[in-house]
Amino acid sequence: MKKSIIITVIVALVSVMGANAQKSMDQFLIQVDGLGCPFCAYGLEKKFKEFKGIKDVEIEIETGNFSFNYPSEKNLTMDAVQQQVEKAGYTPITAKIVRANGKVETSGVSESMVAEGAKLVTKSTVVAGKCGMCEARILKSAKTVNGVSTASWDKDTQMLEVTFDSNVANLETIEKAIAKVGHDTKSHKASKDTYESLPACCLYERLDQ
């Protein structure tokens, strides 16, 4: 009888420990530029299967959102995740990790610091795009321009609103940066090769200029 009780207790403890181990997972969400078809998604997933223990892989081709869970004890870093995306042949736009202990790490598009004495102005302009992946690409490129503080883009109106320090930046420079990554703006058109290299879901109707 005592043996049966001991065995039952051990089994229960093992089950509890197993359940806790399963719960101890870090959550990853990366927005990936360049996913244009199911084959692309398969290639990305296959590359990440090199991380032994990866679970719950989900990929949304239209938005470029890629998510998965990974054992927290392995402490997978942000840099390692972004490098793995690049090894698969794609570009990480934004990334977020929710650690099992509740800590949140982010990388990518963020609000820029405003320099002391900045002369902030807000301007709007048309930028062509189609989806959430377009939005992330547009905002990331806008924020690479020195002096840009905030930026937002509306898919329905195709309008970009950007706030920047007019002492060091201007709307033309921002539009050029956006056109360089494949999106037509009111005054600057992306090159044919860059436009055609966008994922299929991002091939918007080009602006006439």
CATH 3.30.70.100 fits 2-107, yes or no: yes
Q: Identify whether the C-beta of residue 129 lies closer than 8 Å to the C-beta of residue 144.
A: no
Domain ranges within the chain, ordered by starting residue: 2-107, 120-202
- The CA distance from 145 to 163, in Å, is 11
pTM of the predicted model as reported, rounded to 2 decimal places: 0.66
What architecture (CATH level 2) is domain 120-202? 2-Layer Sandwich (3.30)
Q: Identify whether the C-beta of residue 187 lies closer than 8 Å to the C-beta of residue 197.
A: no
- The CA distance from 95 to 57, in Å, is 15
165 alpha-carbon distance from chain centroid: 26
- The CA distance from 98 to 177, in Å, is 31
- The CA distance from 139 to 93, in Å, is 10
* b/e 13-45 (16+ beta carbons within 10 angstroms → b): eeeeeeeeeeeebbbbebbbbbbbeeebbeebb
pLDDT at 112: 60
Please give the chain's pLDDT, 209 residues, in tens.
555 545 444 444 445 455 444 569 999 999 998 787 888 899 999 999 999 999 999 999 888 899 999 999 999 999 999 999 989 988 888 899 999 999 999 886 555 666 778 899 999 999 999 988 899 899 989 999 999 999 999 999 999 999 999 999 999 999 999 999 999 999 999 999 999 998 888 899 998 75
Closest to 124 measured CA to CA, from 174, 88, 85: 174
Q: Identify whether the C-beta of residue 167 lies closer than 8 Å to the C-beta of residue 147.
A: yes
Residues, the chain: 209
**At how many degrees (to 10) do helices 78-87 and 38-48 cross?**
130
Do the domains 120-202 and 2-107 match in fold?
yes
- The CA distance from 143 to 157, in Å, is 20
CA quadruple 30, 36, 39, 40: dihedral positive or negative?
Answer: negative
User: Is 186 exposed, middle or buried, given 0-12, 13-18 or 19+ CB atoms closer than 10 A?
Assistant: middle
